[in-house]
């Protein structure tokens, strides 16, 4: 009995990426023989019957098309007397036999559905909105399922990039027809997330639309491909190889490797055997990060002489459980990405941190005097708005702090705009939204934007654009305490200001010690770009601007 590549829908060619059986192997029905992959998805080709694998007609890396014979099976006794046409008939009759070919069929039918939906004005597609230049955006949460009745603003899906999480909410009330993604799936701008049928009721009025109405030309809809099929289980997906819901797939050869096409591609490029990796994704799915972490571990483990990558001394691996009970707490994606970014900056940039203090008694008096007005305006006014304002003035005065070192190491890219990144502490980890054109904004505007961006960061409502384009950062731990710290530069920026807790201290005014409100500042900078004297000048400028905020009006 020949095993052939089934109907591939609109896919011309696929690549054999894995061979899961050897000639002579005794196979059970539905045991995976090979795994094929297109640009969008991977798919197991299972044995259509129990029997012995007599020959394999493909090799890993070979590109093949629909109908290509990949193997020959000698069916065991129970099916020996069946010829191929009988087997094919039986395949139509038995539901489980349809598992291999059904996904491909579903990809074709989804094309039809889409063209139908394009004719109906009530069916809409929810697409991934503009996510700027963010890469590696994954679905981390799906809040609805097929058949759910939803209201405007109901949460549909949560996406997460290296930098932040973003909630995709419904702009129309209606019913969920299809959820087109699964948790841990990587998506990009324009990817289909879900299809809804509107009930003709409300629609969000704001323009931040992440849904595209079906009345748009049908050809605008992305072509239906195997990758568009909903990857929920092996029986209805041409997407990832996934364990069956009852876990049977865990034991089956076909489900040994549970990973998406992009992860498989990365593993192939790096020469990694996916079966050696334990997946950390949902239902033990192997993610790209798992592959990268595995490679890192291999590099560290493989190195002799106690050095890690880049010749750095290796931190000892200790079995802490030997000394008492331990608990393993997984880091959030933002924490892991943050750790990578901070480490990258720390090992690449020669950091210097300069500490100083500024007397902001007058600033604080002024700020207190604004409290009633602030309440009327509904704006919370904290010292941070003044600090950001002072930084903008200092950056204009010292433009090398508002710059990045060019990749060739020979030039400085001075930016003609001033965008201030603001570190915000969130339950998922540190997030740095950016106040755009901060130098053009008043203290009121800055205060409102600081509150707005920090609320959005904590509520996972930041757009990708809110996280991009920073030219200098401020990290305020003032509300928490401390007398100083060494903030890490948010590379490729070249400097960051750390702010610690305001304290009332006795200061000598020439005649007596008087109580003054003193704010500690810590300026870290990239010493390749900024020398100590420049650092000193920048800090002096900040200190005097904050000590006498009339200077900010100059």
User: Per CB under 6 A, does 501 bind ligand CAO?
Assistant: yes
497 binds ligand CAO (CB under 6 A): no
Is 101 exposed, middle or buried (CB count within 10 Å of its CB: 0-12, 13-18, 19+)?
middle
Give the residue, chosen from 220, 479, 540, 551, that forms a contact with ligand CAO under the rule CB under 6 A. 479
DSSP state of 384: H
Three-state SS at 427:
coil
> Which of 16, 403, 424, 539 contacts ligand CAO by CB under 6 A?
424
To ligand CAO, the closest distance from the beta carbon of 466 in angstroms equals 13
Q: How far is the CB of 389 from ligand CAO (least distance, A)?
A: 13
Cα distance between residue 8 and residue 5, in whole Å? 8
Distances 161 to 135, 140, 146, 168 between C-alpha atoms, Å: 7, 10, 25, 13
The residue among 452, 500, 457 whose CA lies nearest residue 479 is: 500
- From residue 183 to residue 212, the character string flagging contacts with ligand CAO as x (rule: CB under 6 A) and all else as - is ------------------------------
Cβ–Cβ under 8 Å, residues 438 and 385 = no
Total of residues contacting ligand CAO (CB under 6 A): 20
Q: Report d(CA 513, CA 35) in Å as an integer.
A: 79
Can you tell me the distance from the alpha carbon of 142 to that of 148, in angstroms, rounded to the nearest whole number? 12
Q: Is 423 in the site for ligand CAO (CB under 6 A)?
A: yes
Q: Does 334 bind ligand CAO (CB under 6 A)?
A: no
Residue 239 or 383: the one with the smaller Cβ distance to ligand CAO is 383
Least Cβ distance, residue 422 to ligand CAO (angstroms): 6
What residues between 274 and 313 interact with ligand CAO by CB under 6 A?
none
Stretch binding ligand CAO (CB under 6 A), from 56-64, 241-249, 329-337, 473-481: 473-481
Number of residue whose CB is nearest ligand CAO: 478
Cβ closest to ligand CAO, residue 386 vs residue 401: 386
Q: How far is the CB of 303 from ligand CAO (least distance, A)?
A: 29
454 binds ligand CAO, rule: CB under 6 A? yes
Q: Do the Cβ atoms of 172 and 211 come closer than 8 Å?
A: yes
* Closer residue to ligand CAO in complex, CB, 139/164: 164
| 467 contributes a contact to ligand CAO by CB under 6 A | no
Does 388 interact with ligand CAO (rule: CB under 6 A)? no
By CB under 6 A, which span of 19-27, 226-234, 240-248, 477-485 interacts with ligand CAO? 477-485
517 and 503 Cβ atoms separated by less than 8 Å: yes
Task: Please name the helix (run of DSSP H) or strand (run of DSSP E) that holds residue 168, with its range, or none.
Answer: strand 165-169
The verdict on whether omega for the bond into residue 492 sits within 30 degrees of 0, i.e. cis, is yes
In degrees rounded to 5, what are phi and psi of residue 212?
-115, 125
Does residue 478 touch ligand CAO according to CB under 6 A? Answer: yes
CB burial string 133-164: b at 16+ within 10 A, e below:
ebebbbbbebbbeeebebebebebbbbbbbbb
From 235, 382, 400, 404, residue interacting with ligand CAO (rule: CB under 6 A):
382
Identify the residue among 450, 462, 489, 530 touching ligand CAO (CB under 6 A).
450
Phi-psi region of 530 (alpha: psi -120 to 50; beta: other; left: phi over 0): beta
Q: Which residues pair with 142 in a beta bridge?
A: 157
Q: List the interface residues with ligand CAO, window 156-185 (CB under 6 A).
A: none
For ligand CAO, the closer CB: 46 or 498 = 498
Residue 458 beta carbon to ligand CAO: minimum distance, rounded to whole angstroms: 8
How far is 294 from 313, CA to CA, in rounded Å?
A: 19
What is the closest distance, in whole angstroms, from the C-beta atom of residue 423 to ligand CAO in the complex?
A: 4
Q: How far apart are CA 32 and CA 273, in angstroms?
A: 17
- Judged by CB under 6 A, the residue of 170, 487, 495, 529 near ligand CAO is 487
The encoded tokens of residue 132 equal: 């700027």
Cα–Cα distances in angstroms (integers) from residue 247 to residues 209, 235, 244, 250, 349, in the given order? 39, 13, 5, 5, 48
Does residue number 430 form part of the binding site for ligand CAO (CB under 6 A)? yes
Rounded-to-integer distance, Cα 110 and Cα 108, Å: 5
Q: Are 181 and 130 in contact (CB under 8 A)?
A: no
* Residue from 134, 384, 420, 446 in contact with ligand CAO (CB under 6 A): 384
* Nearest-approach distance from CB 146 to ligand CAO, in angstroms: 39
Q: Does 499 bind ligand CAO (CB under 6 A)?
A: yes
To ligand CAO, the closest distance from the beta carbon of 506 in angstroms equals 18
Q: Does position 422 bind ligand CAO by CB under 6 A?
A: yes
Q: Which of 107, 165, 476, 522 binds ligand CAO (CB under 6 A)?
A: 476
Phi first, then psi, for residue 501 (nearest 5°) are -80, 130
d(Cα 492, Cα 472) in Å, to the nearest integer?
9
307 in helix, strand or coil? Answer: strand
**Does residue 543 bind ligand CAO (CB under 6 A)?**
no
Residues labelled as active-site residues: 527
- Report, in Å, the least distance between residue 477 CB and ligand CAO: 5
Binding part of the chain for ligand CAO, among 116-124, 127-135, 301-309, 495-503 by CB under 6 A, reads 495-503
Residue closer to ligand CAO by CB (options 43, 494) is 494
Which residue, 210 or 454, has its beta carbon nearer to ligand CAO? Answer: 454
Q: Does 33 bind ligand CAO (CB under 6 A)?
A: no
To ligand CAO, the closest distance from the beta carbon of 380 in angstroms equals 7
The candidate with the shortest Cα–Cα distance to 361, out of 541, 509, 208, is 509
* Sequence-ordered list of residues with C-beta below 8 angstroms from that of 189, at least 6 positions apart, any chain: 127, 128, 129, 130, 131
Closest residue by Cα to residue 136 from 164, 160, 165, 157 = 160
Which residues make up the interface to ligand CAO (CB under 6 A)?
382-384, 422-425, 430, 450, 454, 475-479, 487, 499, 501-502, 519
């Amino acid at each position: 009995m020949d095993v052939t590549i089934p109907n591939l829908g609109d896919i011309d060619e696929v690549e054999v990426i894995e061979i899961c059986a050897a000639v002579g192997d005794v196979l059970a029905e539905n045991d995976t023989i090979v795994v094929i992959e297109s640009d969008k998805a991977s798919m197991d080709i299972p044995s259509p019957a129990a029997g012995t694998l007599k020959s394999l007609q493909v090799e890993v890396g070979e590109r093949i098309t629909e109908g290509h014979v990949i193997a020959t099976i000698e069916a065991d006794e129970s099916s020996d007397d069946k010829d191929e046409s009988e087997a094919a008939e039986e395949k139509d009759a038995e539901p489980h036999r349809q598992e291999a070919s059904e996904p491909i069929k579903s990809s074709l039918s989804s094309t039809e559905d889409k063209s139908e939906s394009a004719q109906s004005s009530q069916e809409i597609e929810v697409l991934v909105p503009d996510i700027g230049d963010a890469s590696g955006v994954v679905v981390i949460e799906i809040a609805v399922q097929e058949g759910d009745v939803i209201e405007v603003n109901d949460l549909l899906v949560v996406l997460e990039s290296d930098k932040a999480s973003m909630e995709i909410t419904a702009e129309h009330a209606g019913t969920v027809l299809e959820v087109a993604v699964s948790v841990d799936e990587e998506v990009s701008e324009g990817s289909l997330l879900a299809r809804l049928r509107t009930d003709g009721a409300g629609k969000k009025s704001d323009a931040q639309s992440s849904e595209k109405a079906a009345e748009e030309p049908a050809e605008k809809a992305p072509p239906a491909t195997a990758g568009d099929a909903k990857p929920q289980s092996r029986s209805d997906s041409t997407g990832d190889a996934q364990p069956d819901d009852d876990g049977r797939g865990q034991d089956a050869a076909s489900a040994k490797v549970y990973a998406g096409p992009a992860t498989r591609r990365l593993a192939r490029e790096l020469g990694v055997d996916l079966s050696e990796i334990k997946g950390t994704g949902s239902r033990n799915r192997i993610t790209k990060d798992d592959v990268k972490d595995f490679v890192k571990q291999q590099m560290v483990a493989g190195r002799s002489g106690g050095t890690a990558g880049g010749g750095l001394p290796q931190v000892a691996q200790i079995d802490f459980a030997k000394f008492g009970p331990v608990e393993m707490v997984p880091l959030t994606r933002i924490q892991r990405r943050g750790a990578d970014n901070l480490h990258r900056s720390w090992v690449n940039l020669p950091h210097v941190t300069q500490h100083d203090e500024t007397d902001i008694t007058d600033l604080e008096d002024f700020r207190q005097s604004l409290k009633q007005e602030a309440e009327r305006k509904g704006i919370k006014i904290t010292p941070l708005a003044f600090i950001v304002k002072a930084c903008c003035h200092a950056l204009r005065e010292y433009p090398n702090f508002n710059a990045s070192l060019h990749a060739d190491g020979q030039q400085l890219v001075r930016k003609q705009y001033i965008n201030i990144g603001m570190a915000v502490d969130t339950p998922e980890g540190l997030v740095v939204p950016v106040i755009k054109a901060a130098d053009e904004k008043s203290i009121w505007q800055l205060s409102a934007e600081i509150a707005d961006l920090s609320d959005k960061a904590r509520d996972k409502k930041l757009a990708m654009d809110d996280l991009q384009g920073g030219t200098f950062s401020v990290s305020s731990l003032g509300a928490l305490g401390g007398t100083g710290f060494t903030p890490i530069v948010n590379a490729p920026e070249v400097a960051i200001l750390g702010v610690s807790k305001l304290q009332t201290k006795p200061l000598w005014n020439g005649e007596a010690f008087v109580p003054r409100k003193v704010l500690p500042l810590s300026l870290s900078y990239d010493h390749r770009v900024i020398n100590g004297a420049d650092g000193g000048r920048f800090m002096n400028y900040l200190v005097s601007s904050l000590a006498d905020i009339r200077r900010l009006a100059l």
